[in-house]
Structure 1
């Protein structure tokens, strides 16, 4: 299933037009609208303020000897309405990023980054993590949806740096009558 999703998301990235999500290039261009703030975009929640964190998820970033670049874990389930703190540790030799968005936004942003490789992010749904460093991102998952988290430094997603988040409704335990 994951190989199918990889194939689909890579195909989308190649055919969709450029679009930016809360980013600006390093060449003085104006930042673009943050998709999570624009009506009509896929609901992905909103930045958390850190005052009430329901869950902390630790994510490790690494590269393998065979050239893969990985997030561990790469599949996460989150209950709708939860505020999650992602604690991200880059144990790899390269700099990486953690970008959270809908599958459509990620594909469009990936194309934008290909065209603007010196871009610097200015968005609450993305953090850069230099080699050997840690970073945190706090997010309020207010909507049931499926999201993707990726490293969109050119070539990194293609090397395996992506994962999925399934935001689901709280399921009450079934009562035994």
Structure 2
């Protein structure tokens, strides 16, 4: 009987320790201590300095646009994207590789109401604002796109060059 109680206590301690190691509001393993790095960087730290880049979403004469749609970033630089949807439609901003964004765009065609809750993506209603903090840890040419069906095809994409 004593052995069973010791085992139960050890199991309870292990479960509580695992839960405590996760950041508040996150599932275990989703804390911000070791953010997952991608080919185009990793989630930034909002508490650290970052260069502010304002991105405006809009529609104009049948085109959908990001302004600006071309950025240069230094390797290792952290960017605070301040996003503003000046359009009359929902739009989103997704940072990734061209290949990843094109693949995800195909998935979005099958599920057009899919909403992103990722550190590299933000969907905004008309006249809304939002923010993404991202650190570009690798050199290369990367993409940002609106992956709502038809939007990228209407011109809503841009390029990030990391040197």
Q: Which residue number in structure 1 is paired with residue 86 of structure 2?
A: 91
Question: Please, which runs of 5 or more residues in structure 2 have no aligned partner?
Answer: 1-34
Q: In the aligned structure 2, how far is the partner of 1:85 from the partner of 1:116?
A: 29
What pairs up with 1:129-140 in 2 under 5 angstroms? Answer: 129-140=124-135
**154, 157, 162: which one pairs with 1:162?**
157
Q: Which residue number in structure 1 is paired with residue 46 of structure 2?
A: 50
Q: Which residue number in structure 2 is paired with residue 175 of structure 1?
A: none
Residue pair 1:43, 1:145 contacting (<8 A) in 2 also: no
Residue pair 2:115, 2:123 contacting (<8 A) in 1 also: no
Q: In the aligned structure 2, how far is the partner of 1:84 from the partner of 1:119?
A: 26
Question: Please, which runs of 5 or more residues in structure 1 have no aligned partner?
Answer: 1-35, 169-177
How far has the Cα of 1:83 moved from its partner?
0.7
What pairs up with 1:59-138 in 2 under 5 angstroms? Answer: 59-64=55-60, 66-138=61-133
Q: In the aligned structure 2, how far is the partner of 1:113 from the partner of 1:143?
A: 27
How far has the Cα of 1:37 moved from its partner?
3.8
Count, aligned residues: 129
Kindly provide the CA deviation profile for residues 108-136 of structure 1, in whole angstroms up to 9, marking residues without a partner as x.
10111011112121211100111001110
**Structural RMSD (CA):** 1.4
How far has the Cα of 1:43 moved from its partner?
1.0
Give the TM-score normalised by structure 1.
0.70
> Which protein shows a greater Rg?
2
Q: In the aligned structure 2, how far is the partner of 1:90 from the partner of 1:124?
A: 18
